Structures are given as structure tokens and as C-alpha cells.
Amino acid sequence: MKAPWSAASIRVRLTGWYAIVLSLMLVVYATATFVAVRQEFQEQLDDQLHDDFESAEGSLTPTPDGRVAWSVGRHHDPDNDEERAGDVWSPNGDQIGRSGASAALPPVALASAGAQPRYESMIASGRRWRTLTGTTLVTGRSVVLRVARSEERLREQLAEVLKVLVLGLPLVIVLAGLGGYSLARRALAPIDHLAVEARRVTAERLHERVSVPNQRDEIGRLAAVINDAFARLEGSFDKLRHFTADASHELRTPLAVIRGIGEAGLVETRTPAEYKEAIGSMLEEVDRLTTLVDTLLRLSHGDAGSVHLSREPLDLGQLTRDVASSLAVLLEERRQRISIEGPEGVSVSADRLVLREAITNVIDNAVKYSPVGASIAVSIREEGGRAVVEVADQGPGIAAEHRERIFDRFFRVDTARSRDAGGSGLGLAIAKWAVEINGGSIRVDAGAAGGSVFRISLPRGNA
């Protein structure tokens, strides 16, 4: 049952809801109107009866023989006689006078006639009547007086009103539905337009944007959001394009070297030592390719979210010291010094191996780019619920425009830098990946005294 309804377009659904709500409101309104009109008619009728009663009272006169007479002259009206009636009884039940259609009505129960006049509705001779019955005194003698009016005319009028209301309601609803439909269409037209424009933007034309007619209204905000999404998509595509170009370069270079060495080796006969040299050189390239492919596969596993992490609370200081000592020989070779400062027991929640790799790559980067004899300052601290490790090097620093891209795969500030000196170009990309997969973030800033400061911020663990 739900499917066809949810399959209908927003326009149809909107109109449907509109019609339903409007119908409910109209039904309530019509009912209230009808009740009020009926009330009003009823009160008018009662007022008329009250007038009839008073004028009938006025027509009662005492006779010289001590009885009461009723002159009904004024009430004699052929047009109204079918609609009205009047009766007067003496307390012992003798009919003193009658007028109009009183024959159609049953006699009143004298015992029930109180001092206060009383309204009643009744059905007599197949018609509905409204009566007013009361006891009145005529020069000390009490008589029972009853006036009546037929309710038929009132009911006819009410039926007219009801007919107008009931017949008019569907008409109004249909008209409102049509109006609602066209309003909904007009309101939703910009969305259709937006959809057409958005469809135009494809992978090949990602630079295009949808037009934003009015930035303030809802459609404008939606268009802005869509444009924002396109911008990010374009950014990702650009990154991917860069990556594909860089990756194919990085992968093809070793292949070209291997091929070149192999072909050159076959052209003429060489000494065994030369062959060994050639084969060794080829194997070096194979090794490089293998590492590259491994790293790329790992990153793509990470992208696909198929990496299993075993998070545990780790002492960040201890982990960092551990990394530093594993890289100690590299520092010694370059006569560099590393200082690690910060309180004990700064705990993070992370996967040990993955996080260790991130810190290793960042410190290795600092070692690689700092000059011989430089010192590298590592500081660890807690900051607003996060654990932070900062690595400050004395390298050449990174220009502001490159700071965002430094973590991109294969990005190198100095494109001329050779593969031998620059490593795989994936170290910092791996570091970023490893930090982010552990719920942290990494960024690089210019150091106060030159160089760069890499800052890794991680969620704290409960030590």
C-alpha cells in the first residue's frame, strides 16, 4: 500500500496532503456553521413563540360571569393557521379557547404546567412542533395557555443551508486541489530546473555549476549545497587525476629502467661481473616497484575501509621514544640530535603498528630534510582532550601553498628531486592515512625558527 504513494511525485503528494487537510478544515467549518445557524433559527422560533404567548395572554379577558374568555380575532390568519396553534384551558381541564391548527396537537397535561412557561418540541400528526406552555392569571383566575408553531419551515431552511454546504464542499475541495497542484508545480519548478542543470554536470564537465537564482531562499541554498558538492567532487577528481599521472610515472620509471638494462645487456656479450651488475641493478628496480605496489595496495585498502585496526591505549611518549631509538642510527649517521619532551603517560587510543608507522614516517621525513648536524625537537602534550605530538625540523620549510598537498600521494615539493633522495613520495601520505584511520589529524606549519612543524593530533585513550 505504501509503495504507490511514495512513488508519486512530490507535487502529487503535496497536493494530496493539501486537499486532505483542507477537506478536514472545511468539514469542521461547515459543521460549525450548520450548528450555529440551527441554534440561531431555534432561538428565533422561541422568540416568536414568546411573542405569541404574550399576545395570547393579552387576548384573555374576564367575563362578567366570572369566567375567562379568549378573543382570537387578531390571530386569525389563513396563511399562518396551518403553522400556528393556540389553546387555553381552565385549571380543571375545560377548553376555554383554541385557534389555528390546535386540533392537530394533543391536549396538554395540566398537572405538568408550572408557573414558569416551558418550551417543548414534539411530533404530532406527522409534523414537528415547538410549543410554549405556561399558567397565567386573569383577574385572579388561573388558566393554562399553550402556543405552538410548526418547525417544518425552519427545517426546510436548515435543509437548504445543509444542501449548500454539502454540495459546495466537494467543489471547493476540487478547486483548492487544482490550485494547490499548480502552486506546488510552480514552487517545485526550480527544483526540476536544478535537476536538469545538475544532470548536465558530468565527470568531464565537473567545472560547471548550477545557477543560483536567489542565494537566500531554500532553492538557492540547495543549489549552493549542490555546487559545494560539485566543487569537492572536482577536487577529488583532480586529486585522482594527479595521482593517476604520478602513479603511472612512478611505476613506469622502474619498468623503463629494467627494460633498458635488459636490452642493453643482450646487445653484446659482457663479462660475468658486468652481467651481475646489470641483474643486480634490475633487481633493485624490481624491489622499488614491489615496495611501491605494496604501499599503494595498502593505501587503497585503507580507502576502501577494509583495514582491521586493533585499538588499544598507548603511551604516546613511549611510542615516540621507541620510534626515535629505532631510527637512531640514521640520526647518528647525519650527526643529528633528537629531543623528546613532554609529560609521562599521555595516552592515546590507536592501533600500535599503524600509529608507529605514522610517527616513523614523520620523524624520518624530519631526519631526511634537516641538514647534517641539525637537531629535531619532538614535543608531546595534551591539548583540549586530544593528545598531540609535534615534530619540528630544521629543514628548508614548506611553502604555504604546498602545505595542504604535502600529504598527497607522490607529491614532492621539489619535482626535480631524484627518486633516490626523495624516497617513494608516499611516506607522508602513509602517515596521513595512518593518523586519520586512527581518528586523528595531521598538519604542517612553518616553524618559529624556520623549518617545518608536523603536528599529529589524536583522540586520547583512557590510560
Partner 1 sequence: MRHVRVLIVEDERKLAQVLASALKGEHYDVVVASTGEDGFFHANAEAFDLVVLDVMLPGRSGFEILQTLRQRHIDTPVLILTARDGVDDRVHGLDLGADDYLVKPFALPELLARIRALLRRGRPSEAFRLKVADLEMDLVARRAVRGGRLLELTTREFELLEYLLRHQGHLVSREMLAREVWKEPRRATPLDNVIDVQMTRLRKKVDADTADRLIHTVRGVGFVLREGEP
Residues near partner 1, by CB under 8 A: 276-277, 279-287, 290-291, 308, 326-327, 329-330, 333, 353, 357, 360-361, 364, 423-424, 427, 430
Nearest-approach distance from CB 242 to partner 1, in angstroms: 21
For partner 1, give the closer residue by CB, 185 or 368: 368
Nearest-approach distance from CB 282 to partner 1, in angstroms: 7
Q: How many CB atoms lie within 10 A of CB 90?
A: 15
Torsion from C-alpha of 57, 63, 68, 70, nearest 10 degrees: -50
For partner 1, give the closer residue by CB, 24 or 283: 283
Cα angle for residues 185, 190, 192 (degrees, 5° grid): 75
Question: In a 3-state reduction of DSSP, which class is residue 348?
Answer: strand
Distances (CA, A) of 66 to 91, 137, 337: 14, 13, 139
Residues 6+ apart with CB under 8 A from 115: 134, 135
For partner 1, give the closer residue by CB, 90 or 281: 281
For partner 1, give the closer residue by CB, 27 or 266: 266
For partner 1, give the closer residue by CB, 287 or 414: 287
Burial 182-210 (b: 16+ CB within 10 A, else e): eebeeebebeeebeeebeebeeeebeebb
The alpha-carbon radius of gyration of the chain (Å, integer) is 50
Nearest-approach distance from CB 222 to partner 1, in angstroms: 42
CB 348 within 8 A of CB 459: yes
Question: In a 3-state reduction of DSSP, which class is residue 351?
Answer: strand
Q: Residue for cell digits 627494460?
A: 259
Nearest-approach distance from CB 266 to partner 1, in angstroms: 17
For partner 1, give the closer residue by CB, 135 or 281: 281
For partner 1, give the closer residue by CB, 45 or 362: 362
Nearest-approach distance from CB 309 to partner 1, in angstroms: 12
Nearest to 88 by CA among 68, 116, 117: 68
Cell of 13: 503528494
Nearest-approach distance from CB 330 to partner 1, in angstroms: 6
The two beta strands, 452-459 and 441-446, are antiparallel
DSSP 91: T
Nearest-approach distance from CB 335 to partner 1, in angstroms: 13
